[in-house]
Amino acid sequence: MRACKSRLRPLIVNSGAMCAAGKDVTLFRTLAGYVEVLACRLGMQIPDLNPKQADMWQTRVSSHAGKGIGVGIGCILGMFPLLFFKDDEKKKKKKEEEAAAREEAAAREEAAKAGIAETQTLVLAEVGK
């Protein structure tokens, strides 16, 4: 399973912003019809407004507010997968710690060959960083 993830990951990461936006638009335009059908089945109706009512400031404000809230919720849902990318930072930190431990072990080994005491080895390891 891990091999599949590692092979697919470059495809996901290397996808450009415009490519991702295009895929999203295509996906959600196809789903829009289903959302409208679902809304009708739930009993929601499209308001039947005459031109004068559609031009009222209350209608325009509520329409734009609804669109803004919808875009905001969509953005929050779109950022949800970012919660799962913290593992990369942890892996990087772990690799750095392992590298530091290897360097310290190598310094101790060199010091042991040269006959230097343990306390002097730690000082040499700190100076080398």
**Which residue from 119, 67, 20 is spatially nearest to 127, judged by alpha carbons?**
119
Residue 126: helix, strand or coil by DSSP?
A: helix
Domain boundaries, the chain: 1-47, 88-128
What is the C-alpha separation between 1 and 125, in angstroms, rounded?
40
Name the band, by pLDDT with cuts 50, 70 and 90, for residue 128: low
pLDDT score at 119: 55
The whole-model pTM stands at 0.42
pLDDT tens, residue by residue, 52-61: 998 999 999 9
Alpha-carbon distance of 58 to 66, in angstroms, equals 12
